[in-house]
């Protein structure tokens, strides 16, 4: 049986008697992360078989990581408000811990619960509708709910479509202005006759602030 590795985070330190270092010294590991120096304990190996709660946690970790990893560029936008305290991927991972459902070992991702953005823009997407068109295309329409004193509808639509049986994604970072109220998405031809799931959010023109995401729903591509 392969041993488990448990890593305990200990704390941040500021130079001190030894000064900053990285790597292994005795039982302590020094790490430089995001411009700061951190200490953590040396990994402890054990030959004990994992418990069921540990197996559940590992599977949940693997499922969320596998789902989010292909869209890290999009997550860098959607979770930028949280990048001071952790990486955008870690923030997205934490936000989606409750998206796993089912009884172990039959765990699944509850796609309507998936979050691809958590931001500070006051107006999340509203009144989104989608309609399938011919030639592997989907049309989206929405209301411009941005007050004139904020973005005035100049913020841009970010969109993610996902075909679960293929584990394939289509993402569009700068789809259309909120004020446009409409966008037509072309998807791969081999997505025809397959169900896809769609999420959207808005980001300001300068790219520095975004809204929370909205799960639009599922639709069968023509």
Residue 204, judged by CB atoms within 10 A of its CB (0-12, 13-18, 19+), counts as middle
* pLDDT tens-place string over residues 89-103: 999 999 999 999 999
pTM exceeds cut of 0.75: yes
* pLDDT tens-place string over residues 116-156: 999 988 788 889 999 999 899 999 999 999 888 788 899 99
CB atoms within 10 A of CB 28: 14
SS3 169: strand
Length of the chain equals 222
Largest Cα–Cα separation, the chain: 69
Q: And the tokens for 137?
A: 């295309």
- Residues of CATH 2.60.40.10 domain(s) within the chain? 53-220
- DSSP category for residue 127: S
Q: And the tokens for 219?
A: 């639709």
Q: And the tokens for 150?
A: 């904020």
Q: Confirm if 185 and 170 have CB atoms less than 8 A apart.
A: yes
In CATH terms, the fold of domain 53-220 is Immunoglobulin-like (2.60.40)
């Amino acid at each position: 049986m392969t041993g488990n590795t448990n890593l305990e985070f200990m704390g941040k330190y500021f130079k001190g008697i030894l000064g900053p270092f990285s790597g292994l010294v005795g039982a302590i590991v020094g790490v430089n992360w995001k411009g700061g120096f951190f200490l953590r304990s040396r990994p402890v190996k054990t030959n004990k078989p994992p418990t069921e709660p540990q197996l559940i946690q590992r599977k949940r970790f693997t499922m969320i990581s596998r789902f989010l990893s292909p869209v890290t560029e999009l997550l860098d936008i959607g979770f930028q408000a949280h990048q001071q305290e952790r990486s955008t991927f870690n923030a997205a991972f934490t936000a989606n811990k409750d998206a796993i459902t089912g009884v172990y070992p039959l765990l699944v991702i509850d796609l309507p619960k998936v979050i691809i953005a958590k931001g500070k823009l006051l107006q999340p997407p509203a009144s989104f509708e989608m309609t399938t068109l011919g030639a592997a295309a989907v049309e989206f329409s929405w209301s411009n709910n941005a007050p004139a004193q904020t973005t005035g509808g100049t913020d841009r639509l970010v969109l993610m479509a996902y075909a679960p049986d293929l584990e394939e994604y289509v993402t569009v970072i700068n789809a259309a202005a909120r004020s446009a109220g409409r966008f037509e998405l072309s998807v791969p031809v081999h997505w025809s006759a397959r169900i896809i799931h769609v999420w959207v959010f808005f980001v300001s023109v300068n790219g520095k602030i975004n809204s929370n995401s909205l799960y639009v729903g599922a639709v069968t591509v023509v």
